Structure formats: C-alpha cells, structure tokens
Amino acid sequence: MRGRWWGLAVTAVIVFLLVYVGLNYLGQGNEPTISYTEFSRQVDEGNVEKIYSKGDAIQGQLKEARDDPDGDGEYTKFKTQRPAFADDDLWQSLDRRDVTVTAQPVVQQRGLVSNLLLSLVPIVILVAVWIFFARRIGGGMGGAGGMLGRKAPPKPVELRPGTQRTTFADVAGIDEVKGELDDVVDFLEHPDLYRRMGAKMPRGVLLAGSPGTGKTLLARAVAGEAGVPFFSASASEFIEMIVGVGASRVRELFAEARKVAPSIIFIDEIDTIGRVRSTGASVSGHDEREQTLNQILTEMDGFSGSEGVIVIAATNRADILDPALTRPGRFDRVVNVSPPDRGGREAILRIHTREIPLSDDVDLVQVARTTPGMTGADLANLANEAALLAVKRGQEQVTASDLSEALEKVQLGAERTLVMPEEDRRRTAYHESGHALLGMLQAGADPVRKITIVPRGRALGVTLSTPEVERYAHSEEYLRGRIIGALGGMAAEQVIYGVVTTGAENDLEQVSNIARGMVARWGMSPRVGRLSALPSDAQQAYGLAAAPATLDAIDHEMRRIVDECYEEACLKLRDHRGQLDALAQALLENETLEEAAAYRIAGISRLTKKEP
C-alpha cells in the first residue's frame, strides 16, 4: 500500500515537470534576445524589415538572416530592449529605411485555446493515474461505492479442479472441539428440525487458540461437512485508509452470504478489527476500525438480522476482543483450540504422512511421545522436513533417522559449520554433560532424549529432554528439578574449571521465568504467600503490577530458590564427577549421544528413576 502511494507521488512530480517544461519552452520558437547595439547596427544597415514595440520592449524581423551572437546558428526574428536613457531618434531612422512598424506582435505567442489545453493536460494525466492506482489498490474509494471503480463483490470459496472438500476426517487431535462444531454442522444440514423445536441457529462461533492449532482448518471442515457456501476473509482486508470502506465491505460480504444462505463466513484474525473500543478521541485509522466493528456487530445481531448466516472467527488474542463481540447473540460459542495431547499428535502425524512413504522403522507413537507442545502446523512442518531430507538423500522412503533429524532441525535449528577451538569444544561438552547428568539424576525430571555438541542455531550444544507423559499440573519438586537441570551447564563449568562463561545465557532466562512463576504466580513461596502477585501478562512490565515491597520480596525469593538449586546442582555433580567425565569424553569422541547410549555411559537405568 505504501509503495503504491509513493508511485503515485513520483508520477505526479514527473507530470508537473513535463508540463512546466511545455509551458515555458515549447511553442515559443527560438527567437534570440539581441543587444540594442546589435539592433541599431542592423537598422543602420537597412536589414530590418519590420518591428513591433510595446513600451521599451521591441520585437522584429530581419530581411536577411544573421549569425546569432550567442553562437546558436542564424536568426531572422529577434527580441531586444531599448534603454530608458536612449536618445537616438529611433523613429526617424526607421522611417528613412522603410521599416514597417506593425500593430501585431512579430513573435506570435500561444493563444487562449492552446494555454487552456496545456493547463488541462496535467489534470487529465493525474486523474488517469489516480484511477489506475485506485483499481490496483483494490478498489480504493471504489470499494465504498465511489466514482473511481468498484471492487467485485465477494464470492464463495471454490474448489480447484481435482481437489476435495475439507472434512472432519482431515482434522485430528482436537476431538472435543469437533464435538462443539458438530452442532453447527447438524443445524446447517437439518435446519427444519431445530426450527420446529424453537431452537435458533447460533450466530457465531469464535475459535480461540495459539497459532498453528488448526482454527482455519476447522472452519473449512465445518463448511465441507455441511456442504454450504463458504466465504473466507481476513480482518485486515476490511481496513483501509479511507473511513467507511471497511463497513461497506462488511455489508457487501453479509449481503452476498444471505443470497446463498445457509452459508458460513469465516473471518481470520478478527482481533485486528475487534479490539476493545476506546472512549477518547481517536485518529482516522481507529475511526475506520471502530466503524468496521460496529458494522459487524449490526450485521450479526442488529435489526436486520442475518438469518441462515453463521460467522466463524479465529483469533490468537481472545482476551482483547470487545465485550459486545463476544456476548451471546453475536458469538454464542467461544471454543478454545489447544495444542493436541500425545494421542492427538499421533493422529495428526498419521494424517500428514498419508501420502508420504514411511519405512518400517518409523514409529509414529514414539515421534508423538517426543513432540510435546507441538501444534498441528508444527507436526505438518515436521513431516514435510523429513520428506525433504529423504529426497535430498536419494531415498525412496522416509526413515526414522529422517524424522529424528527433522525434529532436531525444527526444535533446535539447523546445524552450523563452526570450527571451535579444542578448549571451547571441551567446555561445551562438560556444559551439556552437566545438563544431561542432572536430568538423569533428578527425581521426576524429563528423560534425556539426545545430547549433542554440534552447533545448532545460536547454541553451541544442545541437550534435548521431553516428558514421558503429558503434564498439566507441575509440582514444586518438578519445577525445582527443571531449575537444577537448567543450571547444570553452569554448575559443570564451575565444578570443572572454577569459572562460568556466557554460554549459560539461555539457561538463565529459563531459570528466571520458572522461578518468577513459582514465587509470583503459583504461590510456592512462604514469604510472598498464596496469591498471584504478578499475572502472566504483566511480566514484561511487571514493575507496574505490584507494590515496591512486594517486588522486593519476589526478587528475594527468586534469588533464594535459584541459589538453593545451584548449590544442589554443584553438589550432585561433585558427587558424580566420574559419570560427568565419562559423558563429556563420549561427547568429545562422538559429538552426539542418543538416549540409550547416554544412559548407558552414565551408568543410570531409567527403570530405577523415581517418578513423582
């Protein structure tokens, strides 16, 4: 949008310069301005045929051409200026040499019609350029029914040839959400049954959840299951610089949807226009957003109503939506779409690998177990990355190794070809061994899946730990274990070298977040007490969220917990120094250790670990 307006401005400047040149230089001929001395000489020689004078300005024409004094060729017509102090009997000289003194200018100027046409040229060009850019932008004022063209009315989403409708069979891992939407599908398929019972069709369904959880896919599946027209739009498409365009487009969208009712309108990222309305004065951008929101509110539950049209909206920020939008009668149902559990991840992986040939060693159950927290989009990307790796290696099937490497690339970043000094490499090996060994020793800690000192992303080495089962509530012991494990790298450097390095930056960020949550949000500090002193959405500017004394108490308790965990981490590593050295030596030799090899080298059996 900004680039197009810049193009329009540059075009206007070019048109102005062209017209300026035309008005000042075109159509005026090449008559030179000569000196009055040269003019007097030509009169004395009898070479002047006629002149025209207005005041002291003189125009004339010679009988025979003369060389231009400025060296620009020859000339016959000329202009000059008689000095005010001249007393040379000019009229007598002209009369003696039969010079005609005319009443019409010798050098003809442009007429009224020519000047008028030249003045209209820039206006015509600017209007043409404006129309061109307005149509390219997407209607501009024409989107609001203006004079510069009109944007085509919205049409239902049509399937491309050879493709099939998306149905609930293409959606997995969120069965509870599908159950919520089954009612909408059944209503669209059998509206008469509900009307006889006096039930009203829900006006809207709001899908709220983190990015990649399948909100857009769910909306397409509802339309595919019901077999009704499906209109799709992004909330940002309604916002324009010109106030009133968004409201006009909303009216147009709902009008087209009513023509083919029952139908579904899907609005993605509705928080773009659905934010809480301000009470003070606002600039035009906010006016446009609020007018668009008001129009949506009216269309969904106004006097006109929208019988037969269901609005499905998706957002990542349901907490900032206007209350008028989320009340019953507008969005009757708010459906939270959460990341899938282990069974859901397995089902999602099976859907995304339907067309990918898998080798016999691929265990999707194990892959689902090692991917906690990943969304449907993450798992789709994982399957695609594994397929790309298989193609690069010239394989005909995707193997377990491809999936494992793709998972590392997705979670940890791509490998870097970094040549490290041997001392830095050894220090990194001990750092990662400290993480891994404490994860193995700590009761209830997440199992260690892989240790590597191959640089990936911004990290010089990585220890990958994932839970064996899904955890939805964490105990204080488990959180302390995570802090101890995260401090394991720094503790190992302290135990072995007596110093710490900058390699623990990311570890300290994790430790600070966990400790802050324990003290200020989850009531795990006796001094702060059982209260939420620091809500999660206030962590970025938490200085304004609590009293200074409370903030001091939070900082004191965070330091106490982290210091206790660090002392315990150093003590355990000193007590198990042999196992730490063995892991570090194995990493220096192999660079990467898988789960079974890591536990075997450390001499720890996972079966003997205590579970909380």
In Å, what is the CA distance from 265 to each residue of 116, 233, 316, 317? 53, 8, 18, 20
The response to whether 50 counts as a known ligand-binding position is no
Give the contacts of 567 (CB within 8 A, at least 6 positions apart): none
The response to whether 204 counts as a known ligand-binding position is no
Residue 489: CB atoms within 10 Å: 28
Contact 276, 322 (CB under 8 A): yes
CA gap 38, 43 in Å, rounded: 9
- DSSP assigned state of 411: H
Say which amino acid occupies 167. T
The response to whether 175 counts as a known ligand-binding position is no
Contact 396, 357 (CB under 8 A): yes
Question: Residue 63 phi/psi, 5° resolution?
Answer: -75, -40
Contact 25, 72 (CB under 8 A): no
**Owner of token pair 């043409």:** 128
Residue 219 parent element (H or E) = helix 215-226
49: nearest Cα among 13, 85, 76, 87: 76
CA gap 265, 309 in Å, rounded: 7
CA gap 169, 136 in Å, rounded: 39
The response to whether 211 counts as a known ligand-binding position is yes
Residue 538: CB atoms within 10 Å: 15
The response to whether 447 counts as a known ligand-binding position is no
The response to whether 259 counts as a known ligand-binding position is no
- 432 labelled catalytic: yes
Contact 333, 180 (CB under 8 A): yes
Say which amino acid occupies 456. R
Residue-by-residue DSSP string for 302-350 = SSS--TTEEEEEEES-GGGB-HHHHSTTTS-EEEE-PPP-HHHHHHHHH
The response to whether 329 counts as a known ligand-binding position is no
Backbone conformation region of residue 410, classed left if phi is above 0, alpha if psi is from -120 to 50, else beta: alpha
List the structure tokens of 151.
């944007």
Q: Is the dihedral of CA 32, 38, 44, 47 positive or negative?
A: negative
Q: 518: buried, middle or exposed (CB in 10 Å: 19+, 13-18, 0-12)?
A: buried
The response to whether 212 counts as a known ligand-binding position is yes
* C-alpha neighbours within 13 Å on the C-beta side of residue 98: 2
240: nearest Cα among 232, 231, 249: 249
Burial 183-206 (b: 16+ CB within 10 A, else e): ebbebbeebeeeeeeeeebbbbbb
The response to whether 548 counts as a known ligand-binding position is no
Residue 153: CB atoms within 10 Å: 11
CA gap 261, 413 in Å, rounded: 48
In DSSP terms, 415 is beta-bridged to 456
**Identified catalytic residue from 240, 256, 408, 432:** 432
The response to whether 216 counts as a known ligand-binding position is yes
The response to whether 229 counts as a known ligand-binding position is no
336: nearest Cα among 351, 310, 309, 314: 314
The annotation places the binding site for Zn(2+) at 431, 435, 507
The annotation places the binding site at 209-216, 431, 435, 507
Mind telling me the catalytic residues? 432
The annotation places the binding site for ATP at 209-216
